């Protein structure tokens, strides 16, 4: 050995990364009631290692080292109280062992830990999403030993890793003839059932029957009147690609367990679609909708959860080209019969074949959601609660499917009492008043702000339903979705509100007359407010409030301007229009006001700003004006009730 090799062979003790310590503690306490999953996780990792070797060997066949029969072996030793999982996959180098078994290097780590609640049941779900993998060994073991060697490396570069999970691990270079990885669990007291072959087989068949590689165990034989472990191996699982089997031959439980494998989830999926597509492109798709949102759902740069295979050969995890970003919650597998085995992410970005697969997978997912929305409304409500805001992104990103996506959208509305009770655009359209020509909506930062907006007053008076949009993405939605079913979508906070046939001629004439009578007042208010407003005018949209602010037809809405500002972006410069209620006591009072007219005009504007969720440039000045006006009113003069 060289001096360098000798140095590398030295036994080295290292501390786990802080996040690993935290994860180990949380996992052992949160997942113990579901301890069986450790074997699923270890077998899943072993399967991934075999898949990666097959893929790497496409460009370097020597990595197989004259052994192309990829397999997984599970064994147990009652006397030593050990359970072992062995694979002949790609294996790990010393550097990979330290990186993979001592640290967490995945994106979203911070989001994961910040999402933890302290509730063991909820945290168990998050831990499953994050991917417990190898660390799940410590649920049942008080010591874990790993022997591994990277495929293609010499036997002298084997690695031994060992830890009791308390905070440190040791690593050393050892001789190892076999490539791949062997994980030995030294079981805790009370884990005796995991030393019974029948029990281990049951766990494998329940959780890992879908694994493509054969999972082998020693046969059990009757000796001296009892079942004992023999020497001959037998395959425990079906060892065939689940997605390649006929749908009629697959049980729902098998679909669910396969989802937990590909989705790194502990819960059953909400729904799934399995189909073989034939024609110019041939591929199989098995796509799942999770029942809960992952902790990193809002990271649009996170890899998607669909695995790509070519003729059942694993190519890559999280192939983001297979589905658009707004469907990033989907998990599953796509297996192509036509793509080359050496396909790369760069090739996928420019492949016409991938474009066709992407379009087909997108339509399949949307059709699955349409089926849920139509036939399983409770399930769709669960889906919408978890993923609705993400699906909304598709309105502006997927022109080809915009109509389908629009049909799947759900919104709160004045027809319901809570934000959780949502309606579809089709529901809304079916309830439109006779003569109603538009679908009306209001946007605000919160549901309560939308529900209590003064812009809704005339709509309540006439019994017209209004959609209440309070998700940040809603401004993006309505900027791209301008009509549905031939009916335009119109904001109730836009200037020039025209209720068309819902207004009778007498109402229109009364408004015109009042506007003429108050022309002098609106001119005075506009002169007083100066550059703060674009225009002051009489409105018929208010029945209770004295005034409101509206955006001109081509200006950005006040809500969008606030969102842009909060995001550190500059909104296009625009001024609001102040509309006044000609029948409100405050407005009527202003007609005869002289001394404090500027204060009243400013209060009117500021209150309108506050009513729609805006912030004042000078709150202290607003308070001073209110106090001054209240003192004047309290001095024996005419009394009116200040709005708000």
pLDDT digits (tens, 9 = 90+) for 35-75: 888 898 899 889 989 999 998 998 899 999 999 999 999 99
Neighbours of 36 (CB within 10 A): 18
| Residue of 42, 446, 23, 472 lying closest to 215 (CA atoms) | 42
pTM above 0.85, yes or no: no
> What gap in Å lies between CA 498 and CA 60, rounded to an integer?
71
The three-point CA angle 406-408-410 to 5° equals: 95
Report the half-sphere exposure of 85 (CA within 13 A, side-chain side). 23
Strand partners, 536: 578
Q: Hey, is 286 helix, strand or coil?
A: strand
Contact in structure between 40 and 51 (CB atoms under 8 Å)? no
Contact in structure between 20 and 103 (CB atoms under 8 Å)? yes
Name the helix (H) or strand (E) containing 356: helix 352-375
Residue 420 is given by DSSP the state: T
Q: At what angle do helices 352-375 and 377-392 cross, to 10 degrees?
A: 140
3-state SS track over 467-526? EEECCCCHHHHHHHCCEECCEEEEECCECCCCCHHHCCHHHHHHHHHHHHHCHHHHHHHH
Distances (CA, A) of 28 to 17, 123, 184, 360, 485: 17, 12, 18, 41, 53
pLDDT value at residue 555:
64
> What gap in Å lies between CA 360 and CA 373, rounded to an integer?
20
Contact in structure between 204 and 237 (CB atoms under 8 Å)? yes
> What gap in Å lies between CA 449 and CA 468, rounded to an integer?
9
pLDDT value at residue 392:
95
> What gap in Å lies between CA 476 and CA 471, rounded to an integer?
10
Residue 39 is given by DSSP the state: H
pLDDT value at residue 26:
72
Contact in structure between 487 and 429 (CB atoms under 8 Å)? yes
Residue 551 is given by DSSP the state: B
- Over its C-alpha atoms, the chain yields an Rg (Å, rounded) of 33
pLDDT digits (tens, 9 = 90+) for 217-242: 998 877 766 767 777 889 999 888 89
| Residue of 581, 506, 505, 595 lying closest to 547 (CA atoms) | 581
Least confident stretch, 118-127, 292-301, 364-373, 634-643 = 634-643
pLDDT digits (tens, 9 = 90+) for 507-539: 778 777 887 888 889 999 999 999 999 999 988
pLDDT digits (tens, 9 = 90+) for 241-275: 899 999 999 999 999 989 988 887 878 999 999 99
pLDDT value at residue 231:
76
> What gap in Å lies between CA 266 and CA 252, rounded to an integer?
16
Distances (CA, A) of 593 to 241, 522, 547, 586, 629: 83, 13, 17, 10, 12
| Residue of 211, 219, 213 lying closest to 257 (CA atoms) | 211
pLDDT value at residue 115:
67
Distances (CA, A) of 352 to 179, 314, 321, 344, 515: 38, 20, 11, 14, 61
Strand partners, 77: 82
Reply yes or no on whether the pLDDT at 576 is more than 50: yes
């Amino acid at each position: 050995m060289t001096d360098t090799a000798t140095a590398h062979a030295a036994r080295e003790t290292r501390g786990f990364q802080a996040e690993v310590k935290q994860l180990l503690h949380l996992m052992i306490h949160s997942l113990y009631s579901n301890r069986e999953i450790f074997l699923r996780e270890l077998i899943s990792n072993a399967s991934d290692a075999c898949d990666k070797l097959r893929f790497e060997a496409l460009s370097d066949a020597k990595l197989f080292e004259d052994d192309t029969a990829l397999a997984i072996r599970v064994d147990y030793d009652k006397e030593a109280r050990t359970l072992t999982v062995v694979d002949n996959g790609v294996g790990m180098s010393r550097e990979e062992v330290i990186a993979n078994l001592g640290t967490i290097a995945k994106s979203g780590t911070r989001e994961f830990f910040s999402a933890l609640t302290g509730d063991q049941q909820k945290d168990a779900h998050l831990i499953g999403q994050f991917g417990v993998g190898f660390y799940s060994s410590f649920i049942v073991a008080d010591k874990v030993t790993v022997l591994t060697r990277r495929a293609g490396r010499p036997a002298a570069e084997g690695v031994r890793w060992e830890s009791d999970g308390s905070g440190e691990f040791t690593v050393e270079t050892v001789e190892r003839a076999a490539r791949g990885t062997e994980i030995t669990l030294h079981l805790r007291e009370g884990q005796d059932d995991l030393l019974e072959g029948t029990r281990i087989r049951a766990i494998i068949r329940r959780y890992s029957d879908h694994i493509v590689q054969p999972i082998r165990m020693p046969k059990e034989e009757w000796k001296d009147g009892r079942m004992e472990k023999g020497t001959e191996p037998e395959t425990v699982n079906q060892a065939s690609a689940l997605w390649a089997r006929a749908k009629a031959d697959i049980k729902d439980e098998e679909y669910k367990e396969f989802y937990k494998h590909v989705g790194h989830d502990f819960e059953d999926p909400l729904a799934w679609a399995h189909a073989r597509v034939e024609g110019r492109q041939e591929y199989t798709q098995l796509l799942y909708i999770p029942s809960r949102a992952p902790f990193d759902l809002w990271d649009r740069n996170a890899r998607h959860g669909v695995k790509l295979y070519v003729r059942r050969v694993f190519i890559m995890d999280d192939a983001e080209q297979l589905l658009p970003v707004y469907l990033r919650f989907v998990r599953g597998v796509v297996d192509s019969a036509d793509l080359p085995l050496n396909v790369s992410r760069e090739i996928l970005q420019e492949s016409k074949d991938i474009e066709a697969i992407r379009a087909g997978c997108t339509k399949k997912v949307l059709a699955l959601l349409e089926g849920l929305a139509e036939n399983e409304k409770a399930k769709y409500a669960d889906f919408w609660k978890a993923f609705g805001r993400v699906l909304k992104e598709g309105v502006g990103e997927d022109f080809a499917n915009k109509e389908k996506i629009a049909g799947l959208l759900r919104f709160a509305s004045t027809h319901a009492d809570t934000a959780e009770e949502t309606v579809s655009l089709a529901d809304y359209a079916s309830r439109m008043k006779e003569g109603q020509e538009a679908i009306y909506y209001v946007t605000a930062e919160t549901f309560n702000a939308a529900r209590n907006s003064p812009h809704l007053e005339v709509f309540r008076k006439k019994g017209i339903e209004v959609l209440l949009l309070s998700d940040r993405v809603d401004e993006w939605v309505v900027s791209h979705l301008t009509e549905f079913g031939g009916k335009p979508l119109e904001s109730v906070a836009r200037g020039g509100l025209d209720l068309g046939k819902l207004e009778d001629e007498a109402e229109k004439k009364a408004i015109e007359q009042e506007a003429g009578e108050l022309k002098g007042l609106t001119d005075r208010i506009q002169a007083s407010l100066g550059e703060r407003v674009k225009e002051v005018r009489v409105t018929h949209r208010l029945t209770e409030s004295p005034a409101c602010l509206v955006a001109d037809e081509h200006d950005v809405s006040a809500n969008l301007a606030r969102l842009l500002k909060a995001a550190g972006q500059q909104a296009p410069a625009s001024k609001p229009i102040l509309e006044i209620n000609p029948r409100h006591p405050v407005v009527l009072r202003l007609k005869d006001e002289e001394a404090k007219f500027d204060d009243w005009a400013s209060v009117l504007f500021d209150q309108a700003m506050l009513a729609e969720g805006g912030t004042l440039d000078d709150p202290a000045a607003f308070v001073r004006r209110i106090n001054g006006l209240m003192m004047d009113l309290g001095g024996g003069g005419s009394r009116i009730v200040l709005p708000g």
